[in-house]
Structure 1
Amino acid sequence: MTPADDNDLTRDAFLGGRLHLWQPRQGYRAGVDAVLLAASIPATSGQRVLELGCGAGTAIMCLNSRVSGLHLAAVELQADMAELARCNGGDALEVFTADVADLPVALRQRQFDHVLANPPYYDRGASVRSDHAAREAAHGESTPLATWVKVAAKRLAPKGQAHFIQRIERLPDLIRALPGDLGSVEVLPLAAREGRAPERVILRARKNGRGAFRLHPALALHAGAQHSEANKDYVPAVQAALRNGAALRF
């Protein structure tokens, strides 16, 4: 399944060329965050996975590329992005065009072993809207972060895991939103380089988990003190996740 010839789309390589996905040429385009979120999910063959707000399907298809035999479903509000996700996922991915806050009955009747989400980063009560509709939908929070967390928790099977990537300043909001039946919370901060303050965080929690809260040491994405355009200088663990489709261990 491929979209019609459309100059507004590009077909881009991920995971070192193991995966190719259609994306809008302008506006929101998936990057490192989606790939790292997928790499952090310890899914195994045969499990059921749901992505909330999948965009063009980058994160869930990166996970599918690493782990075979998964049963995949995704939700996307924007009809054009949902259609791209269908094109990118083919028979492997069931895509629902719906609001995260109002899932279709077919999804509300199902449970999943993993639910992942890359919710919009910015609370528009404290930031400026983008003029680009797709970029605003991806980054500007219209549905509250707490709703994303609540919906993810409801769709989890017992012992299932929810996985989120967010900006570090939203971590308190993310933790406050966790319902009482999500425990065994782990947080992995992501920093650009050693000695830099983290800018992103991956949080995961388990349905009915009873483990102690764990704050892992920050993962520096790049080696060295300065960025080089000629060499992205990712540290080996991140390079392996981004280029080779390897798992990213907490």
Structure 2
Amino acid sequence: MPRPTSFLDGQLQLLQPERGYRFAADAPILAHFIRCRPTDRLVEIGSGCGIILLILFVKKRFHRIVAVELQPALAELARANVRRHGADAAIRIVTADVRDLAPADVDAPADVVFANPPYRRVGTGRLSPDPARAAARHELSLDLADLFAAARRFLAPDGRFDLIHLWERRADVAAAAVAAGFHPGRSRQVLAFPHSRQPRMFLHSWHPAPAEAVVEPPLVIHEKPGVHSEAFRRIISAAPEDTST
């Protein structure tokens, strides 16, 4: 059994793979970006160990979440983490290929679908020899077209798809979104440092119906090397967050 990782000032004690994929800063950043009512239905595409689900449960009190995870070992870890934190009644993990699922399989239509997907196209970057890590980093089983198709299938007509991705792939993301019939909404750049030459990542809400495109101020992760910004420290703290839309 892997040793738990303490997070949110100790409120979360998360089991993670000792080898393979482990969560990083993008998980709490996406959780922070998601805004909706605690009673809304949420669907996650690719749960990993369940980090985002449990941040939403602890910090935002969301309690109607279904997550889909392709890798059985990660899905079992996510279920174990859900049980460890008493979230069984709020969160359900489905082990499946999201491309094969009908809306009813994830209790859709959902008010919000969200994902922290593999960032790299196959054939770019170094492919990890570890199968779990490779699947988490490269689009081996789920590319952007499949991702947006699943999100569109699961969403209510007035719903929203919240996504985090690499800045360098923003054109690919936008093209896949438009091809699937989505419209841009709220967005935010993520910078490693205040004076970074370009963003590291970006967050974007996509809507099945036309929406107001709002660009929020950038989120800076580090004030300087080894020192988190105040904004990021709040994100990884246990302090409750506003859940309003």
Please indicate, yes or no, whether the TM-score normalized by the shorter chain is above 0.5. Answer: yes
TM-score by length of 2: 0.88
Residue matched to 1:110: 108
Aligned partner of 1:214 in structure 2 is: 214
Within 2, Cα distance between the matches of 1:248 and 1:201?
Answer: 21
| Contact 1:240-1:246 within 8 A present in 2 as well | no
* 1:181 positional shift: 4.3
Aligned to 1:100: 98
Equivalent-residue separation in structure 2 for 1:241 and 1:76 (angstroms): 24
- Out of 119, 125, 128, the residue aligned to residue 126 of structure 2 is 128
The residue number in structure 1 matching 2:205 is: 204
Candidates 126, 135, 138, aligned match of 1:137: 135
The one of 218, 229, 235 equivalent to 1:235 is 229
The alpha carbon displacement at 1:183 in A equals: 2.3
Aligned to 1:119, what secondary structure does the other structure show? coil
- Displacement after TM superposition at 1:208 (Å): 1.3
Report SS of the residue matched to 2:211.
Answer: coil
3-state secondary structure, aligned to 1:215: coil
Q: Is the contact made by 1:238 and 1:248 (CA closer than 8 Å) also made in structure 2?
A: no
1:144 Cα offset (Å): 1.2
The 8 Å contact of residues 118 and 139 in structure 2, kept in 1 or not, is answered as yes
Partner of 2:65: 72
**Runs of 4 or more consecutive aligned structure 1 residues displaced over 6 Å after TM superposition:** none
Aligned residue runs from structure 1 range 16-31, under 5 A: 16-31=9-24
- In structure 2, relative to structure 1, the CA distance for the partners of 1:243 and 1:103 (3 Å cut) is same
Q: Which runs of 5+ in 2 are unaligned?
A: none
Q: Deviations over 1:92-125 (max 9, x none)?
A: 3211111122225642662111111011011112
| Structure 1: gaps of 5 or more residues | 1-5
Contact 2:220/2:231 (<8 A) preserved: no
SS of structure 1 residue aligned to 2:22: coil
Distance change >3 Å, CA 243–CA 69, structure 1 → 2 = closer
Q: Tell me the amino acid that sits aligned with residue 208 of structure 2.
A: K
In the TM superposition, residue 65 of structure 1 has moved relative to its aligned partner by: 1.0
Q: Work out the CA distance in 2 between the residues paired with 1:160 and 1:62.
A: 21
TM-score, normalization: structure 1? 0.87
Could you tell me which amino acid in structure 1 is paired with residue 147 of structure 2? W
Give me the whole-angstrom Cα distance separating, in 1, the residues matched to 2:194 and 2:38: 35
Deviation at 1:209, TM superposition (A): 3.2
CA distance in 2, matches of 1:152, 1:190: 23
Match of 2:187 in 1: 187
Per-residue Cα deviation, 1:19-61 (whole angstroms, up to 9, x for no partner) = 1211111111112111110111012221111110111111111
Asked if 1 retains the 8 angstrom alpha-carbon contact of 2:49 and 2:77, the reply is yes
Provide the residue aligned with 2:173 in structure 1. 174
Return the letter of the residue paired with 1:73. V
Provide the aligned C-alpha RMSD in A.
2.1
Q: Which moved more, 1:71-80 or 1:17-26?
A: 17-26
Aligned AA for 2:232?
V
The 3-state SS of whatever aligns with 2:98 is: coil
Equivalent residue letter for 1:205? W
* Structure 1 residues 77 and 159: alpha-carbon distance in aligned structure 2, compared to 1, 3 A threshold: same
- Which one-letter code corresponds to 2:9 in the other structure? G
Deviates more, 1:134-143 or 1:103-112: 103-112
- Alpha carbons 2:5, 2:14 under 8 Å: kept: yes
Distance 2:29 2:76 in 1: 23
